[in-house]
Each structure stands twice: as C-alpha cells, then as structure tokens.
Amino acid sequence: MFAQTAPSVPQAVEILTPQPQSVVVPPDSLNFIAGGPEKWTSPEGLSSSLQIVLLLTVLSLAPAVLLMTTCYVRIIIVLGLLRQAIGLQSLPPSQVLTSVALFMTLFVMAPVWMRVYDDAIVPYTDPAIPMTLEEAYDAGAAPIRDFMARQIDVAGNHDDVHLFYGYMRPDGPLPTTFDEVPIRVLLPAYILSELKTAFLMGFQIYLPFLIVDLVVASVTISMGMLMLPPAVISLPFKLLLFVLVDGWRLVVQMLMDSFGTIGA
C-alpha cells in the first residue's frame, strides 16, 4: 500500500479558489453599445429624447399648474393672514393650514373636475368614441376656463384680463367675452385676481383684531404699563373674541360665499 501524500498549501489554495469564467457578450449588444451615441443623436433619437424631457417637465409642473388653476391660492392666503391677524406665528401649524386649504379646494373644485372627467377623460379612453388628444384637451380645459372666468367676473377684476390681453395684442380691440380670451391670458389674469381678492378678504379679517390691539395698547399706556408689550395682553382677548363669534365658521363661510354657487 502506497502512502497518499497530501497536497501542498499552494496546490490546495489553487484547488479551492474558483476559476474565473469568461463572459461571452453577443456581437449585437456590442454593436448597439458602440453605435448607441450615433443612434441617440440621430433625428429619431433626439425626437424621442425631447418627448421624454417634455413629459418629465409637464409632470414636474403639473402640481403647480393644478394649484394655480384652482381656488387654493385664495384659501391659503386668507388662512395665513388670519393667523397673522390673531398674532399666532406658528399656530395653527403650516401643515394644518395647508391641509384645510387642500380639503376646501377639493370640495370647491369637485364639480369642475367631474366635468373634466366626463367630457374629456371618459370619451378619450373609450375606443368607441373617436377623439384626438387635442380635442380631449379642449374639452377638458373648457370647465376650468369657465371656473376661472366666473371667479374673475364675480370679483369684478376684468381689468386684469385687459392688462395681459393688451400686452399680447397692443393694437387689437379688447375682448368682450371670456370665450375670446386665450388660456395664456386667462391664467395670469386669474392668479392676479385671486391675489387681489385674497388680500381684500384678509383686510376685512384684520380690522376687528386691529381694534382689539388699539384698545389694549391705549389701556396699557394710560395705566403706565410701558414695559409690558401690548401684544402679550391682547392675544388672549383676540382668541376669546375669535372663539365667541365662531371665527372659523365665519371665515370658511366668507370663503365659500366668495366662490359663488359651487355646483355651477
């Protein structure tokens, strides 16, 4: 019987170490990788790339455009001015005010969005109804145009429309109906009208709290309490006044009345 010799340490390491395997790359993939930049910079590749960039741009701007074409701007500004009028810098928190503004926006804009869904999305996704993308866009934009035009008309801010329309067509006659106003003029005019309306409502909210501040300041000065800030004393009285008159309901009711008939 012959004695079986054990392999040396280098031989054992060589046996236990897995041998690298060669990777076979198909020639077609090499040709694709080598010719990729040429294909990407071709007219067809640039066209598809521009479409992707345009789609990503639209998706990134969609939330801002969606909020700017709704009543969200007016609501959030009025609620922010209310918080400043009371004298509470961080209460209610910004997240709470944003949530209230979003829920009220959903309530006000629900009929408009339902019209967009019924007039544009349902026919466009139905194979039995021949509708192009341009026709679907026009049908979906019509309810939003009607809402913005109605809010401008209710607020009486027709001068805002004339302002932007005059810059677009300096020598042309001013429009007599909102149907003659293009969407690129109606959008900035609507935002300007909403800002103006929100600040006017904020002024009305500020007045009662300003009176409380004046009364408290005059009392503290007459009593010689010059070292005590009047805002510290007036804050409890403003909170008490706001709670006694059911201020949240009054503010929300004022906002809802400013939008007119919701279902229209």
Is 83 domain-assigned? Answer: yes
**208 pLDDT more than 70:** yes
Is 20 domain-assigned? Answer: no
CA angle 147, 113, 118 (to 5 degrees): 115
Is 66 domain-assigned? Answer: yes
Is 21 domain-assigned? Answer: no
Is 16 domain-assigned? Answer: no
**205 pLDDT more than 70:** yes
Number of domains in the chain: 1
Is 31 domain-assigned? Answer: no
**Judging by beta carbons within 10 Å of its beta carbon (0-12, 13-18, 19+), is residue 66 exposed, middle or buried?**
middle
Q: Averaged over 60-79, what is the pLDDT?
A: 83
Question: What CA–CA distance (Å, rounded) separates 240 from 234?
Answer: 10
Give the rounded distance of the alpha carbon of 219 from its chain centre.
45
Is 175 domain-assigned? Answer: yes
Is 17 domain-assigned? Answer: no
- Could you read off the pLDDT of 171-180 as tens digits, one per residue? 777 777 777 7
Tokens of 62: 């969609």
Query: Closest by alpha carbon to 194, among 249, 157, 163?
Result: 157
The 10 Å Cβ neighbour count of residue 240 is 11
- Could you read off the pLDDT of 13-58 as tens digits, one per residue? 455 555 555 555 455 544 444 445 555 444 555 456 666 777 777 6
Domain that holds residue 181: 53-259
Helices 183-222, 230-244: inter-axial angle, 10-degree rounding: 120
The pairs formed by 217-220 with CB atoms below 8 angstroms and a separation of 24 or more are: none
